[in-house]
Amino acid sequence: MTLTNEELNAHWMPFTGNRQFKQHPRLFVAADGAYYTDSEGRQVFDGLSGLWTCGLGHSRDEINAAVSKQVADLDYSPGFQYGHPLSFKLANKVVELTPAGLDRVFFTDSGSETVDTALKIAQGYWRTKGQPGKSKFIGRIKGYHGVNFGGVGVGGIGFNRKLFDQSVDADHISHTLLDENRFSRGMPEKGAHLADELEELVLLHDASNIAAVIVEPLSGTSGVLPPPKGYLNRLREICDKHDILLIFDEVITGFGRMGSMTGADEFGVIPDIMTLAKQITNGAIPLGAVVLGAEIYETFMDKGGPDYMVEFPHGYTYSAHPVACAASLAALEVLVQENLVERVKQMSPVFEKALHSLSTAPFVTDIRNYGFAGGLSLEHYPGEPLRRPFEIGLKCFEKGFYIRWGADTLQLAPPFIASEADIDGLINAVGESLHELS
């Protein structure tokens, strides 16, 4: 199936070079397991699990069946003032699978909505407690928290911010991408001290003005930056000392990618609020979730006024959509039943070894990895940092491998079900592409 130039025009594609794409469209028409079929009928390996979404592989019978049944039984149910049983079942499942102390769940439809919801909960919490001054957020340079106004405000990627006003009051600590950690495997040794910049910002702004700190435990979008050893623990200590909420944005790290159920579990640091999306439904239907401690929820309840009143004026038409809840329950069941989180942990050394074999390939200036997530930084063309990753991405696609390029990095995130041969094939395709460009 091919589309004409005219047919391609109406859709303004997200985070896409629209002009280049419409000249050279890359269209998927089917997917099964770890492979897509493109519009030319070729099999293409899914080297990023969709957009970090489809760890279980595509077209899982269990999810398909649950979605089909739910559409037939109850296609939509109003989420405001009425409910349906699946959202409660799913909330309990999410609580069971996330760290102890995170006991309440607010559903959304995407990572960006989840982040903005978490920020609103944090600000609303302090106001409800009678500390309205605690409204500023601290994010991190290179952080990605989606594209809604709050997420862009706390985000730390200049390219995503430059066209828009500063939307929420936010300051940022440094990123953790250090030269001395280049080619580290797993958590880098150096960089825990960078968390102390939070102390500096507390001195500057005063804790009485700060609502929350938001970080990805492992930064995904900016090229896979695992946290330095001790770094997240230090952030936790500083937040505790100054009574600042710690939000972990686990939209990518949640539900298995790190080789544990969450990044918090894997790195041994528990936040006050966690955001989840993507893997929660294996990508089949959009859904996100904010998970938080009961004390935050109870604060809103206690100060909610008469019980006919809404305690938190927030929610989406599609919050806890029944079909999304059905997809999520099925996806989480497969994740647990097939021990896929354990599989990621066991296979991570295989992925790590294969990935780092690219350290001597042309243009590679750094490689980073954790679990089933890998990032490569590439030498820039003079004045054109974004060009080479784009060229490599296209070369890989020609070879039948879908990978992600962003900024001056390549990102790899194979499905949890990927075989050793799949991983070798992926790494070989990237290696060959780099050699062909040299």
Q: Which is nearer to ligand PLP, 315 or 431 (CB)?
A: 315
Q: Which of 79, 111, 228, 283 binds ligand PXG (CB under 6 A)?
A: 111
**Residue 112 engages ligand PXG in binding (rule: CB under 6 A):** yes
The contact pattern for ligand PXG, residues 254-293, with x = CB under 6 A and - = no contact, is -----------------------x----------------
Q: What gap in Å lies between CA 367 and CA 324, rounded to an integer?
A: 36
Residue number, 265 or 299, with CB nearest to ligand PXG: 265
Q: Which is nearer to ligand PLP, 305 or 313 (CB)?
A: 313
- Both tokens of 341, joined, read 């989180």
Q: Which stretch binds ligand PXG (CB under 6 A): 94-102, 106-114, 354-362, 425-433?
A: 106-114
User: What is the C-alpha to C-alpha distance for residues 62 and 182, in angstroms, rounded to an integer?
Assistant: 41
Helix (H, G, I), strand (E, B) or coil at 273: strand
Give the DSSP H or E segment for 373: strand 373-378
Which residue lies nearer to ligand PLP by CB, 80 or 183?
Answer: 80
User: Of 174, 316, 336, 365, which lies in the binding site for ligand PLP, with binding defined by CB under 6 A?
Assistant: 316
Cβ nearer to ligand PXG, comparing 201 with 403:
403
Q: How many CB atoms lie within 10 A of CB 4?
A: 7
Structure tokens at 205: 């702004």
Do the Cβ atoms of 112 and 287 come closer than 8 Å? Answer: no
By beta-carbon proximity to ligand PXG, the closer residue of 8 and 51 is 51
315 versus 425: smaller Cβ distance to ligand PLP: 315
146 binds, among ligand PLP, ligand PXG, none (CB under 5 to 8 A by kind): ligand PXG
Q: Is 318 in the site for ligand PXG (CB under 6 A)?
A: no
Residue count (the chain)? 438
Interaction between residue 317 and ligand PLP (CB under 6 A): yes
Please, which of residues 401-420 interact with ligand PXG by CB under 6 A? 404, 406, 411
253/256 Cα distance (integer angstroms) = 7
Q: How many helices (H) and strands (E) does the chain have?
A: 16, 15
The answer to whether the CB of 438 falls within 8 A of the CB of 363 is yes
Burial of residue 337, with CB atoms counted within 10 A of its CB: 0-12 exposed, 13-18 middle, 19 or more buried: exposed
Crossing angle (nearest 10°) for helices 420-437 and 340-356: 30
- 251: buried, middle or exposed (CB in 10 Å: 19+, 13-18, 0-12)? buried
Backbone angles phi, psi at 369, to 5 degrees: -160, 155
Q: Shortest gap between Cβ of 319 and ligand PLP (angstroms)?
A: 8
User: Which of 45, 318, 372, 401 lies at the binding interface for ligand PLP (CB under 6 A)?
Assistant: 318
Residues found near ligand PXG in the complex (CB under 6 A):
51-52, 110-112, 115, 144-146, 216, 220-221, 249, 251-252, 277, 404, 406, 411
Residues found near ligand PLP in the complex (CB under 6 A):
316-318
